[in-house]
Amino acid sequence: MKDIFVLAEHRRGELREISMEMLTGAAKLGGTVIAVLLGKDVDEFAEKLAGFADKVLYINDDMFENYNSEAYQKALSALIKEHGPGLVMVGNTAQGVDMAPALAVELEAPMVTDITALEMDGDKPKPTRQYYGGKLDAHMAMKDADLYILTIREATFPAEEPSKSGEVVKVDNPVSEEITYRKFLEYVEPEIGDVDITQSTLLVGVGRGIREDKNLPVAEELAEALGADLAASRAVVDAGWLPSDRQVGISGKTVKPKLYLAIGISGAFQHVTGMKGAEVIVAINKDPDAPIFGIADYGIVDDLFKVVPKLVEKIQELKG
């Protein structure tokens, strides 16, 4: 089997978990796994990645101090042409999707995004991805080619303990020209309001099922009865019913409370990713097919407006 390139992802001094997840997954496929790391002063990251890869190729250069998809694309393109892997894995992240499709076009490499499962047919990937917000799995047949690119969804491959001792190779930046047409300016943190939900022990998550902000009191009552804080799905925040610092999910917070009680949340991946680490997950949703029931520990398939008030009563009763 041909070599596999895995693009490591890091941001603001942290190596992101997706990197180790992809390396772990790649290691099971059979080919030599090569981690590719672009950054400035990332020697430590390179050492860490060596625990998960057969080889680490990394570049230290000012150009990669902050993420720039155009710079990444140029560097990766050069490295790929030089080393000739058969498969390139990139995280299906804000960084990854900003670059991978362009790379695929440039290198004429078939690409499938947001993979949730992967089998190999020799050197050819047979990926699975989801459609309709996670309601269906889709099995994809890729075109024949010498090089394939896949963007991998977070948590598709569980990261394991480091078990390799890959060769760490520092290489020169193959990109000689400065990139003027896209420049990194700055990061801006989201504002934190009165509650930092990443610190909450108990959370009630509110989704589209709440229908309108007029109905928020239903959720607020439940939160109050439990002594929990309110969290929200993206839809609720986009609609302005709760502030953005309450948003749980890929573009919001990742929370690990003791209890996450999701009401009216379908469980689309983007949200689940932010709360699946909760110890106990409970879901109340009218739709029996809602993906949330797949990750919840307990569920009630019913109208939240009927169940939640009863639940509030029961909790008040139990609390005495």
User: Interaction with another protein in 213-242: which residues (CB under 8 A)?
Assistant: 214, 226, 234, 237-240
Nearer to another protein, 33 or 222 (CB): 222
* Residues 115, 127 contacting (CB under 8 angstroms): yes
Minimum separation from the CB atom of position 78 to another protein (A): 16
Nearer to another protein, 48 or 153 (CB): 153
In which element (H, E) is residue 71 found? helix 69-83
Q: Report the distance separating Cα 218 and Cα 261, nearest Å.
A: 13
Residue 302's alpha-carbon distances to 209, 228, 264, in angstroms, are 11, 22, 10
The answer to the question of residue 14 lying near another protein (CB under 8 A) is no
Q: Which of 1, 30, 44, 131 binds another protein (CB under 8 A)?
A: 131
Neighbours of 240 (CB within 10 A): 9
Q: Which of 28, 81, 170, 310 binds another protein (CB under 8 A)?
A: 310
Q: Which 56-95 residues touch another protein, going by CB under 8 A?
A: 66-70, 92-95
Residue with tokens 């890959």: 166
The answer to the question of residue 132 lying near another protein (CB under 8 A) is yes
The answer to the question of residue 168 lying near another protein (CB under 8 A) is no
CA dihedral 135, 136, 137, 141 (to 10 degrees): -140
The answer to the question of residue 208 lying near another protein (CB under 8 A) is yes
In which element (H, E) is residue 202 found? strand 202-206
The answer to the question of residue 123 lying near another protein (CB under 8 A) is no
The answer to the question of residue 40 lying near another protein (CB under 8 A) is no
Q: Which of 101, 155, 173, 174 binds another protein (CB under 8 A)?
A: 101
Among 53-61, 80-88, 160-168, 181-189, the segment contacting another protein (CB under 8 A): 181-189
Angle at 210 between CA 205 and CA 215, to 5 degrees: 110
